[in-house]
Structure 1
Amino acid sequence: MGTQYTDDVKSSFDPKSQTEDTPSFDERTAEQKAIDDWLPITSSRHAKWYYAAFHNVTAMVGAGVLSLPYAMSNLGWGPGVVILILSWVITLYTLWQMVEMHEMVPGKRFDRYHELGQEAFGEKLGLYIVVPQQLICEVSVCIVYMVTGGTSLKKVHDTVVCDDCPRIKLTFFIMIFASVHFVLSHLPNFNSISGVSLAAAVMSLSYSTIAWTASIHKGLQENVQYGYKGTNPSETTFNFFNALGDVAFAYAGHNVVLEIQATIPSTPEKPSKGPMWRGVVVAYIVVALCYFPVALIGYYMFGNAVDDNILISLEKPKWLIVAANMFVVIHVIGSYQIYAMPVFDMIETLLVKQLNFKPSWILRFYTRITYVALTMFVAICLPFFGGLLGFFGGFAFAPTTYFLPCIMWLAIYKPKRFSLSWCTNWICIVLGLCLMILAPIGGLRNIIKNASHYKFFG
């Protein structure tokens, strides 16, 4: 279930230390070790705390930040500010819980989200609870980032190229964006994509800064309005639900946090939770510097007329908008890889450990190419940025980010009833459940509404 991490523990499973009476045990252990050394999550453990920082920034600050002004326009000033702050606090708390639980059992590391779920709920039930939710989260992020990358490339093209030039379909820009991942997806593990992730983290801070500074430069729009944009109570309610999903999507890093922590070396004297938590704190400071100015300033300047991607609302200066959109493209390239790596690990683990395929570059080549192609195809079919964020944000990210870590904490540590820890976790669980139920309703409605006048492969 968890991965052994100390030299002493490893030596106890050394084939040379076993007697001749247990040759089959030695063989299985050697084979298992070879597989673990090949799988993406457990193949490299040389990361530093700052790797964790920019991996978490890359995982979290992405497409979600660009939708926050639009979310504010559907939430309103009061509820919007409260939900933004509350989400930042709750998700930081649940992220701390996951960092702490990574090595809560001496001699083990829960390198994958589902391994922690198995510890909390049991071998089979843990898999059934965690794996579907985590897969939905990670695959949906990859799909949304395909749409985001293609949309930003199209924005660059439409801004730079003359207005009278023939229109190029969004489909082709998504395909261009996907072509990069047909190459990068063959990088073997998290440490091998650290350079890409660092560039993505820098880009996220850059385009977030551009988004709110360009909003200030454009100034307060004439006749700006801050009332709900819905034309009737029903539409306003659905938009409010969808906005909850937008906010949930913005805090998406929990789905890869254990996998990121697995890359940090650990000993009983210096467990990985120390450098990991330092990286998380730095990452959350960057998150606050990106999210709050973009959300509040963007909404203040444009009101309820803001687009679901703030960069679309900004038209001048052209060079700055082009630069911001290219920064977005570079960022979501890194983010896609961060979220795809745990999926690659799940697929390759299934093929090698359960279906007995031989670990090889050929197996890795075909599985990863297939995954990139599938996410590209779905993105081309459903390029509804706002609706996708709302639906996936509520349906998938609310459980894994807002309340599943709290349930695991209660199941494993069993804090005293009505203690501070018990009450805090139950508050997070209740709020997370509300989010999971309400947000997909608004997101699904927006997808259906957009699909009604969408031309397939248009």
Structure 2
Amino acid sequence: MGKFNIEQNPPSAVLESGDFRKNVDEDGRTKRTGTWVTASAHIITAVIGSGVLSLAWANAQLGWAAGPAVLMAFSLITFFTSTLLADCYRAPDPVTGKRNYTYMDAVKSYLGGRKVQLCGLAQYGNLVGISIGYTITASISMVAVKRSNCFHKNGHSEKCSISNYPFMIIFASIQLVLSQIPNFHDLAWLSVLAAIMSFAYASIGVGLSIAKVVGGADARTTLTGVTVGVDVTGSEKVWRTFQAIGDIAFAYAFSTVLIEIQDTVRSDPPENKSMKKATLAGISTTTLFYVLCGCVGYAAFGNAAPGNFLTGFGFYEPFWLIDFANVCIAIHLIGAYQVFCQPIFSVVEKYCSNRWPESKFITSEYAVNIPFHGAFYVSPFRMVWRTTYVIITALIAMIFPFFNDFLGLLGAASFWPLTVYFPIEMHIAQTKTPKYSFRWNMLKTLSWACLIVSIVAAAGSIQGLATDVKTYKPFKTQ
């Protein structure tokens, strides 16, 4: 994902150039130059992430009938509500209205009141959750490299139990350093690298699955997924089904940053038209990838599909390719962590500087000369606050190091409010859709149906987390 934030004021160089109108947009900010192509690239980078790793497991819980159907349903719902959200970038008119720079700004323009705070809670709560989830996933991938080498050396029957904790500490230590960089603009290279890595490990997973199927994988698959009485008990089937739905919801979550992506797109043609085109391209591409990962992965592993199909060791050889894929995951998540943390860092620092403008601890910065880089500005507040954030997310990850349940909970918690509820409510307010009209009833029905899906998915994930907490042994790899 690239840089989404735009500077608050036009650069002084632009003002002094005498060519103000040429270099800035109508709101006085630096001229947007993005197109539907760049926006679709941002969407693909934001959507394709660690969620893709759990789709084979999700398909195993749902089976050939419901698995692909649920994937397509979430794809269509996400596309539809994203087109509604794209029209809310400007208010009150989607083409000529005032720009909304963030998701919260859009909610404030159209809905106002307590809904703005609820949006902020859902959005930033989701970002915090993703930070924790990525710490868990990165550590699992780092452990998988050591386990892969252990299996190759000692045989597949060896336990090769390795603790995740040291690797969570390593990941957090890297983030402690990267988090001190003031703006995501300076990490653009890492974002590009992260995007390449996500395509690399997803492609490796699909390729290994295809090879396993072609090689005559003896995997038992069914129309309804894992079988009650054979693979799971009746209650486990229900809970796992709910959890699988949450995992798929998480895999499509990008509404959190949609408005921010749209704020990078130029205004000719209108941003909402470009964004709808980008959304179609982005979601179509990711859905193709997801169907491949989910369905081919299920065909390869059957009802015994691991929760993470690259670290669950359905594949053991070639061990060097497994190692490479897991290194790609770790590198991707190092960059992705920063992508989702930077908005949190920004909102907290902006609030504190406005709240205590006289505090030198909060507002002062000190230049430090770094060889081959030049001046690097260090803020005492930024150092303390961001370090504290990274440490807290790492500690929470150590307490709940459970990949699938955590993904399901994140998906369930963020899908309904951010992907469905707010886009639909803002669309109704924008178009002044008459209450109880056919369109109003259809939109409300979709919203309520998605709320029920989110609730059952959250219930499944919470139950899974509770079970894992009871049975967790710290020095066994998850």
TM-score in same-fold range (> 0.5) = yes
Counterparts of 2:30 and 2:474, CA distance in 1:
42
Q: What amino acid sits opposite 2:452 in the alignment?
A: C
From 369, 374, 379, the equivalent of 2:397 is: 379
Aligned to 1:411: 429
Stretches (4+) displaced over 6 A: 3-7
State the partner residue of 2:220: 224
Correspondence for 1:397: 415
Residue 419 (structure 1) shift: 6.4
Equivalent positions of 1:311-330 (< 5 A) are 311=310, 312=312, 313-330=314-331
Give the one of 211, 214, 218 matched to 2:205: 211
Aligned counterpart, 1:93: 80
What letter is aligned with 2:104? Answer: H
Q: Is 1:151 aligned with 2:140?
A: yes
TM-score by length of 1: 0.83
Q: Note the C-alpha offset of 1:358.
A: 2.3
Gaps of 5+ in 2: 1-5, 16-26, 366-377
Q: Distance in 2 between matches of 1:454 and 1:355?
A: 44
**1:188: Cα distance to partner?**
3.5
- Cα separation, 2, equivalents of 1:278 and 1:153: 37
- Partner of residue 297, structure 2: 298
Q: Which amino acid aligns with 2:289?
A: C
- Please say if residues 143 and 376 of structure 1, whose CA atoms lie closer than 8 Å, have aligned partners that are also in contact: yes
Tell me by how many angstroms 1:272 deviates.
Answer: 3.7
Cα 1:4/1:147, change in 2 over 3 Å: closer
**CA shift for structure 1 position 194:** 3.0
Alignment of structure 1 residues 12-91 onto 2, 5 Å: 49-91=36-78
SS at match of 1:310: coil
In structure 1, C-alpha distance between the alignment counterparts of 2:144 and 2:189, rounded to whole Å? 26
* Larger mean Cα displacement after TM superposition, 203-212 or 42-51: 42-51
Distance 1:114 1:191 in 2: 22
Q: Which structure is higher in helix share?
A: 1
Match of 2:306 in 1: 307
2:92 corresponds to 1:119: no
Distance 1:412 1:206, change over 3 A: same
Tell me how far apart the structure 1 counterparts of residues 427 and 433 of structure 2 sit (CA, whole Å): 8
- Give 1:427-438 correspondences, 5 Å limit: 427-438=445-456
SS in 1 for 2:465: helix
Pick one of 152, 177, 182 that aligns with 2:176. Answer: 182
Contact 2:34 2:265 in 1 (8 A): yes
Structure 2 Cα separation of the partners of residues 142 and 377 of structure 1: 12
Q: Which deviates more, 90-99 or 176-185? A: 176-185
Deviations 1:345-388 (A, max 9, x none): 22122212234342744133322222222111111111100111
Kindly provide the CA deviation profile for residues 226-247 of structure 1, in whole angstroms up to 9, marking residues without a partner as x: 3425533222111111111111
Q: Which amino acid aligns with 2:471?
A: H
Task: Specify the code of the residue in structure 2 equivalent to 1:240.
Answer: T
Q: Note if contact 1:118-1:127 (Cα within 8 Å) is conserved in structure 2.
A: yes
- The superposition leaves residues 385-416 of structure 1 with CA deviations (integer Å, 9 ceiling, x where unpaired) of 01111122112333212332112211332224
Distance in 2 of aligned mates of 1:110 and 1:457: 48
Q: CA deviation at 1:148?
A: 0.7
Q: Deviations over 1:23-79 (max 9, x none)?
A: xxxxxxxxxxxxx99xxxx89956555443333222211111111111111112212
Within 1, Cα distance between the matches of 2:38 and 2:278?
A: 7
Match of 1:287 in 2: 286
- Residue 463 (structure 2) aligned to one of 440, 445, 451: 445
What is the Cα deviation at residue 172 of structure 1? 0.9
2:40 and 2:281 in contact (8 A); partners too: yes
SS at match of 2:101: coil
Residues 166 and 289 (structure 1), Cα distance of their counterparts in 2 relative to 1, 3 Å cut: closer
Compute the displacement of 1:296 (Å): 0.7
Change (3 A) 1:224 1:49: same
Q: Give the Cα–Cα distance (whole angstroms) in 2 for the partners of residues 240 and 395 of structure 1.
A: 16
Percent identity for Structure 1 against Structure 2: 31
- Contact 2:161–2:475 (CA<8 Å) still a contact in 1? no
What secondary structure does 2:242 align onto? helix
Pair 281,241 (structure 1): closer, same or farther in 2 beyond 3 Å: same
The answer on 1:129 being equivalent to 2:118 is yes
Tell me how far apart the structure 2 counterparts of residues 201 and 340 of structure 1 sit (CA, whole Å): 17
Alpha-carbon spacing, 1:378–1:359, altered in 2? closer, same or farther (3 Å): same
- Relative to 1, partners in 2 of residues 1:217 and 1:185: Cα closer, same or farther, differing over 3 Å? same
Corresponding position of 1:344: 345
Kept after mapping to 1: 8 A contact 2:163/2:474? no
Q: Is the contact made by 1:114 and 1:126 (CA closer than 8 Å) also made in structure 2? A: no
Contact 2:253 2:419 in 1 (8 A): yes
**In 2: Cα distance, 1:403 partner to 1:364 partner:** 34
**2:201 is matched by which residue type in structure 1?**
Y
Measured against aligned partners, the alpha-carbon deviations of 1:225-277 in whole angstroms (never above 9, x if no partner) come to 434255332221111111111111111111112123334455xx554445444
Q: Kindly state the Cα deviation for residue 174 of structure 1 after the two structures are TM-superposed.
A: 1.5
2 CA distance for matches of 1:299 and 1:166? 25
SS at 2:99's partner residue? coil
Is this contact kept in 2: 1:390–1:440, CA < 8 A? yes
- The structural deviation recorded for 1:298 is 0.7
Q: Which of 347, 351, 358 is equivalent to 2:363?
A: 358
2:195 corresponds to which letter in structure 1? A
What CA distance in whole angstroms lies between the structure 1 residues aligned with 2:293 and 2:148? 22
Q: TM-score, structure 2 length as denominator?
A: 0.80
RMSD: 3.0
Greater mean deviation of Cα atoms: 68-77 or 354-363: 354-363
SS of equivalent residue, structure 2 residue 180? coil
Q: Give 1:325 deviation, angstroms.
A: 1.2
Residue 258 of structure 1 aligns with an amino acid whose one-letter code is I
Match of 1:28 in 2: none
Per-residue CA deviation, residues 311-355 of structure 1 (Å, 9 max, x unaligned), is: 122222212211211221122222222211221122122212234
Distance in 2 (alpha carbons) for counterparts of 1:88 and 1:159: 34
CA distance in 1, matches of 2:383, 2:33: 25
